[in-house]
Chain A
Amino acid sequence: MLNLQKIRQDFPILNTGIVYLDNAASSLTPEYVLQKMLEYYHQYRANVHRGIHHLSQKASEEYERAHTKIADFINARSDSEIIITKNTTEGINLIANGLQLKKGDKIVTTMIEHHSNFIMWLRLRQHLGVNVEIIKPNREGLFNLADFEKAIDDKTKLVAVTHVSNVLGVITPLEGIEKIVHKHGAYLLVDGAQSVPHMKVDVRKLNCDFLAFSGHKMCGPTGSGALYIREELLDEVDPVYIGGGTIENVGKDFYKLTKSPMKFEAGTPPIAEAIGLGAAIEYLETIGMENIAAHERILAKKMREGLAKIKNVEVYGSEPKYGIGIVSFNVGDLNPHDVALALDVSSNIVVRSGHHCALPLMKEVLGRKDGTVRASAYLYNTEEEVEKLISIVSELSRSLT
């Protein structure tokens, strides 16, 4: 059980009475993280790596420590496997553009992906002539592993799947997929944007090759994120940007790149943001990822079951045991944006509405071109807040549909 009263005090924005259920888009930031970032600006603001003075030394130390915290958090083997990015999208693009794919290579992805793990594959098809195969789940967002068996062959170079659907909250069966991927010698890229903030993610257990996630969805600042690249593949991936900080040596007509992670982190990195992300990890670990996941399971079940019981409300996704605290729904024929606005204006409940950057899912799987309303919970949300959401949606359905 989480000490919600104490946790909520760490997020002063909650004192305004807001019911914040847009966590799948961005979480809130606790005071601890802000303080750690301010500490950098107040006490040792300097550039990293290249300074000999004590401020730069301290900044470099803290920046590197952020890598260690991230590595430990996802159980990576070493800090060199962790590249600081500004978000999940940047991490995935780094792989898409750095993996040196060529015509005839095959990429397998799915219909439930966020555009950030989708359109770069379509672009590679356009630019390089790689083949892209897209696997469709059933209407609940559940996959049949046989479809992966069929799609993944020896020409497959990369399988890019999300860990958790950002619309349905459904968890992808990565364990089964991983075996198929590696049987064919392909690489597995996992979009961890919706999983890493909410559950214990262990890259060694997952046995994935790449994992990208964002800091802003896990109590960290915006503009922070990380990409995990399995140690053995660090030389397989070319950096997208090179320049300051990425070299070992440069001459008049040559350059030699340094090792990871520095070779991927060109220019002055987002130092305060990386420190903030490290602090966010400390914050989450103090509470315990298992505890957070257990708390969210309770909220998700309540939310999903409560909403599903309301007349005229359609809830998407699967039963709670397959998912996390994200619930997508529609209220009769009301436009999802109108529902979201009604919740905000009338009751100070903030949720997201529309297609959630997952148009293929909306069009091909759910058949809702207007999109859905999405409520997503996190560690600071309470059962009372979920009850309030259910009661207001119920009133909306009763009075407006």
Chain B
Amino acid sequence: MAHTIYDIYELMPKKDCGLCGNPSCRTSARKIATGDMSPGQCVNLKLPEYEKNLERIQRILKEGVEFGAKGTVVIGEEGIAYIHPCISEAGRVAAETKLTSGPEGRVDNLKYGFFDPFMMCWALGTSGLYKDVRCSPKLGVARINIDDKTVMVFQDGRINVRKAKDKNDAIQTIRLVSRSLWASIICSCCGNAGVDCASGGCEDCLTKVCPVLAGGPPDPMASTKAPTGQTTGSTIFDRAKKLETGKLFEKGFQDLDQAMDALRKSGQELSEGNFDSKSIDLLTEKLAEANNLAIRFVVETPRVQDATIGLILAGVTLDITRMSEGLATLIHSKRPIEKELRNILIEAISIAEQAYKSLRTVNPDQAKQITSRYAEFRKEWAKSFREKENRDSLVAIEKIATNGFYIARLLTKPLPT
């Protein structure tokens, strides 16, 4: 199945526009591969330029599971499966783990796989925690060199350590890697990676606590206990302040403040036709910093329930990243933005900006207003999408507003405590 999902993803428009109801094409690819979504639900796949891709996806589905692909993953016991002395390295220890406890406690069928291979590579590569990471999203395998230890991560939830100093070192290493990969654990209910749920992009997680966020990363030494308490996204800043790692969280959001500022500036410049790449460079830099801090916060915050809010920081970073991708599409299209489109762009940027502000100032009324503004925006947008030819630009603009809308939903999102 891993290959089928990868092959389908490679054929997706990869716009992460959210128009199908999923926050990313990764989720859509998973759902299409497992039959939970029809490829026709993707607005972009139906456009003439993706006709061949759609045909190929339909062919993959018709042929069934790709030659040599694996079916659903049947999971075994959680925890460390095997710990033994290294045969080739005297005095060193190797440990093999299969993280299977899963976000919902014990589940029998991880139909989408355990780690999202793309987010797995992203989380390991962008956290700044590891100097030497190599990762293949196609195979869903990563290799991390930490000091003289080698850690291998497999998308089915295995984390293997070789040449650890001793048993404790092996366990601590697995724990570290497991925590840093939390954002990429796939929820079996909705098919989203943890960070997608934390970005506000998952519909299912708006009425109940997201199981991935609640369960935490499986710990090789302890069975995962679901948190008992529940709160909402509106408490995250207060909660962070009480933590020793709170500074990382606050610094991360300060980076995002600057990123949003740069985004607004770029959008403004673009609509006025005098674009300067400095703003977009700053935007990229600040997003990378915020992401780095988010993963560090998740790893360094001792209690799992507290560490969860770090995923919200990662999620908002992802939202703004998608907005910046939307902007980049507009910049690279090299077509002057016509007047009507310009108005839509200004409104999209404004929605994104106000949504972010509502979260930062914990203003639920403002967030509510965004929701209705976004509904209006979508109506106007849909009209243009039907009439205009410049659909790439329209999708890029929509992406900015949609991710703003996701952020606006975070204040009321239920969170574990």
- Chain A, residues 380-397, CB within 8 Å of chain B (1/0): the string is 000011001000100110
In chain B, positions 119-164 with a C-beta closer than 8 Å to chain A are 134-136, 138-143, 150, 152, 154-156, 158, 160, 162
Docked complex Cα distance between A86 and B70 (Å): 33
**Residue from A18, A19, A392, A400 within 8 A of B134 (CB atoms):** A400
Contact A400 B136 (CB under 8 A): yes
Docked complex Cα distance between A401 and B154 (Å): 16
Q: Judge if A100 is at the interface, Cβ distance under 8 Å.
A: no
Distance to closest chain A CB from B115 (angstroms): 11
Q: Across the two chains, which residue of chain B brings its CB closest to A359?
A: B87
Contact B68 A341 (CB under 8 A): no
- Chain A, residues 326-354, CB within 8 Å of chain B (1/0): the string is 00000000110010011001111100000
Contact B140 A338 (CB under 8 A): no
Q: Across the two chains, which residue of chain A brings its CB closest to B67?
A: A17
Residues from chain B with a CB closer than 8 A to the CB of A392 are: 139
In chain A, positions 179-202 with a C-beta closer than 8 Å to chain B are none
In chain B, positions 213-252 with a C-beta closer than 8 Å to chain A are none
Q: How many interface residues does chain A have, given as a range? A: 20 to 34
Contact A338 B139 (CB under 8 A): no
Distance to closest chain B CB from A341 (angstroms): 6
Q: Across the two chains, which residue of chain B brings its CB closest to A388?
A: B68
Docked complex Cα distance between A245 and B381 (Å): 89
Contact B69 A345 (CB under 8 A): no
Contact A17 B65 (CB under 8 A): yes
Q: How many interface residues does chain B have, given as a range? A: 20 to 34
Docked complex Cα distance between A400 and B140 (Å): 11
Q: Judge if A370 is at the interface, Cβ distance under 8 Å.
A: yes
Contact A400 B143 (CB under 8 A): yes
Q: Judge if B21 is at the interface, Cβ distance under 8 Å.
A: no
Docked complex Cα distance between A399 and B136 (Å): 6
Contact B134 A17 (CB under 8 A): no
**Residue from B67, B136, B140 within 8 A of A388 (CB atoms):** B67
Residues from chain A with a CB closer than 8 A to the CB of B66 are: 17
Distance to closest chain A CB from B286 (angstroms): 29
Contact A345 B136 (CB under 8 A): no
Contact B136 A396 (CB under 8 A): yes
Distance to closest chain A CB from B323 (angstroms): 29
Contact A399 B68 (CB under 8 A): no
Q: Judge if B397 is at the interface, Cβ distance under 8 Å.
A: no
Additional A-B contacts beyond A335-B162, A370-B87 (12; CB < 8 A): A17-B66, A18-B68, A345-B155, A346-B139, A346-B141, A347-B69, A347-B70, A399-B134, A400-B134, A400-B135, A400-B141, A400-B143
Residues from chain A with a CB closer than 8 A to the CB of B140 are: 345-346
Q: Judge if B3 is at the interface, Cβ distance under 8 Å.
A: yes
Q: Judge if B71 is at the interface, Cβ distance under 8 Å.
A: yes
Contact B68 A348 (CB under 8 A): yes
Docked complex Cα distance between A394 and B169 (Å): 32
- Chain A, residues 360-385, CB within 8 Å of chain B (1/0): the string is 00000000011000000000000011
**Residue from B65, B70, B138 within 8 A of A399 (CB atoms):** B138
Docked complex Cα distance between A338 and B140 (Å): 13
Q: Judge if B407 is at the interface, Cβ distance under 8 Å.
A: no
Docked complex Cα distance between A395 and B142 (Å): 12
Which 7 interchain pairs have the tightest Cβ spacing?
Answer: A399-B136, A346-B139, A369-B88, A345-B154, A342-B141, A348-B70, A338-B152
Contact B136 A395 (CB under 8 A): yes
Q: Give 23 pairs: A residue, B residue, CB < 8 Å, sorted on A.
A: A16-B71, A17-B69, A17-B70, A19-B68, A338-B143, A341-B152, A341-B158, A341-B160, A342-B141, A342-B152, A345-B140, A345-B154, A345-B156, A346-B138, A346-B154, A348-B68, A370-B87, A388-B67, A388-B68, A398-B136, A399-B141, A400-B134, A400-B143
Contact A338 B155 (CB under 8 A): no
